[in-house]
Every structure is written in C-alpha cells, then in structure tokens.
Amino acid sequence: MKTVEIKNIDDIQTSKDKSNKIEVTNQDVGENQGNDINLIEWINSRRSIGNLDTPAPTHEQIRAAVGCAATAPDHKKLRPWRFIVTEGDARYELGLALVTAAQHKAAIDGEELSEKTLHKTANLPLRAPMIITVVTHMQEHKKVPAFEQMLSAGSAVQNLILALKSQGFSTVWRTGLLCNEPAVKAYFGVGADDYVTAFVYTGTSPADKHLRKPIDIEPLLRFES
C-alpha cells in the first residue's frame, strides 16, 4: 500500500530540516488589526469542494499542514490523532476496503448490493487525487475523557483543512456510513476503541468557488452577564 503515514508528531516538530517547521510568533492584540479582519474574512471564505483534481499537495506541504493540525487544543498533550495519506494506486486499495465493508454491512442488514452500487463504492476514493484520513489514538487518562480526545481530533481536522487552504488547495471533509466498519478500520490499522473521524479529500478545484451565503448566527449565540 503506497501511503505516507505520519504517526509521530514529534518527528515533524524536531526534524533537522527547519523548513518543515512553522514559526509561531506572539503579537500584541490590536497590533495588526487590519490583518485580523482579513483573516476573519478568509476563514469565512472556506468552502467544501467535492470535485477535486490535480495537483495535490506535495509531501512537504502535507507536513506543513499536519504541523498546523498538531496545534489543536489537546488536553495533557496526548496527541490523540494520527494522519494517513492515501494517493496514487493506494486509492484503489482503499476502494476495495470500502467494498468489503459495504458487503459486510449489507449482509448484516439482510440486503444485497447491486453491481452499480459496488462499482460506485469502489470509486469513492477516486474523487480526489489525495485523501488524508484522520483517525483517533485514544488513551486512558483520568483527567482527559474520551469525548475531549474526540473533540481534539475534530479540531485537528479543521486546522488541517485551513492549512491546506492557505497553500492553495481545496478540500471536503467526508465520513459516511462505512468509515468505521471493521474492514475500513482494519485497513487503516485502527483499534476497536478508535475512530476514523475524517476523510479529507484534497486537491485543486477545477472551477471557481461560489461565495458562501451569509450565515445568521443570532439563533446560535447567547450572551450572559
């Protein structure tokens, strides 16, 4: 299986190649207010793009994005997430794992899948030139419950997506009914108590991105004093 698996975030952060590191500098609040406003607008411009083509990120660009993902809120620094990059012919192998999962699920549900459905399932990973799968790496900790570790994984996914966007790439966060079926977990080497939290389909959008419609946040927000 031709995948690049980034298992140890320490390896990224302590690499002798300083070009892989991301410098973080602290600035006084208000020092760069104009840029702050631009950043808010930039984040608001993020869109999920389902139709993706080449080029995909280079491995160095992925390392930079994973470095950003690793800054996600992480109680007790457990790093309860891992990143697996699938590209090239490995996408076909992932498709076969999805087919196996679909057939197993159908058998349990007493259903029979059509050839059309099986073909569509096998081709799911081909919708982008690269898929970055984010899986959990849950750990027992008396001060960090499982739900905090899961939320940390979700935060890492969002950081990853924004870091890829900053490098000019489009993404869509997918999961689906099959992502945590035994065959898919086995394919990625995910344990019974862990989860596939995201298939981040990654590549270049062949079409212009439509502007997002304004979101009414008032029903979502409450101030208390």
Q: Which two tokens stand for residue 154?
A: 């979700």
Q: What is the pLDDT of residue 210?
A: 77
Q: What is the pLDDT of residue 211?
A: 80
**Is 174 exposed, middle or buried, given 0-12, 13-18 or 19+ CB atoms closer than 10 A?**
middle
Q: Which two tokens stand for residue 60?
A: 């160095």
> How wide is the angle at C-alpha 46 spanned by C-alphas 44 and 50, nearest 5°?
150
For every one of its 225 residues, what pLDDT tens digit does the chain have, with 9 covering 90 and above? Answer: 444 444 443 443 333 344 444 444 444 545 555 677 799 999 999 999 998 999 999 999 999 999 999 999 999 999 999 999 999 999 999 999 999 999 999 999 999 999 999 999 999 999 999 999 999 999 999 999 999 999 999 999 999 999 999 999 999 999 999 999 999 999 999 999 999 999 999 999 987 777 888 899 999 999 999
DSSP string, 28-72: -TTTTHHHHHHHHHHHHT--B----BSPPPPHHHHHHHHHHHTTS
Buried b (16+ CB within 10 A) or exposed e, 103-123: bebeeeeeeebeeeeeeebbe
Q: What is the pLDDT of residue 23?
A: 45
Spatial distance between the Cα atoms of 23 and 20, rounded to a whole number of angstroms: 10
pTM reported for the whole predicted model: 0.84
Cβ atoms of 167 and 61 within 8 Å: the answer is yes
The widest CA-to-CA distance across the chain, in whole angstroms, is: 62
Q: Which two tokens stand for residue 53?
A: 């083509």
Cβ atoms of 168 and 178 within 8 Å: the answer is no
What's the N-to-C CA distance of the chain in angstroms? Answer: 56
